[in-house]
Structure 1
Amino acid sequence: MSPKVHKVKGMVTYVNAGPGFWAIVDDSGGKWRPKRMSKNLKQEGLRGAFELRELEEDVSIFMWGSPVKILSFVSEE
């Protein structure tokens, strides 16, 4: 089965839990935790349209959101 791809609109936020991490909260309240996020997206409050692919994860210290890879981003600005 291939991983799910989601197209969402939302906002980048920094979650200050444990060591802290960057995340996306979509307009429906969905929580997404990118495995890697480029430096240009690490801006609190950055809004846009994201295309995200779900990732399988064995173990994580973060008990927040679904692990994803960002496939594309288009800013709302």
Structure 2
Amino acid sequence: MSKKIKGKVAYQNLEGGFWSIIGAKGEQLRPVNMPEQLKTEGAAVEISYRPVEEEMSMIMWGQAVTITAFHTLSPQ
């Protein structure tokens, strides 16, 4: 079941670096399939996602998710 969230894109310079989405309420999401169109620091986005059950990951930050749909939002 997909969930929706609004937030901002951020690059995390940890453990080799990765793209993330910080939700409006502070949620920390780590997309495993971050679309190239969203890889812009500070971009406001709305995504639909599903949590990912990872067997093993070197990155110990946020919740791993798969993005199922997305769009960018106008800056406010």
- Give your verdict on TM over 0.5: yes
Q: How far 1:5 sits from its partner (Å)?
A: 2.4
TM-score computed with the length of structure 2 as normaliser: 0.91
Task: Please state if 1:13 is matched with 2:10.
Answer: yes
1:28 aligns with 2:64: no
Q: Normalising to structure 1: TM-score of the pair?
A: 0.90
Equivalences, count = 74
The list of structure 1 runs, each at least 4 consecutive aligned residues, that deviate by more than 4 angstroms after superposition, is: none
Unaligned runs of 5+ in 2: none
Unmatched 5+ residue regions in structure 1?
none
What's 1:39 paired with? 36
Give identity over the alignment, percent. 38
Map 1:33-72 to 2 at 5 A: 33-72=30-69
The alpha-carbon deviation at position 54 of structure 1 amounts to 0.5
Superposed CA RMSD in Å reads 1.0
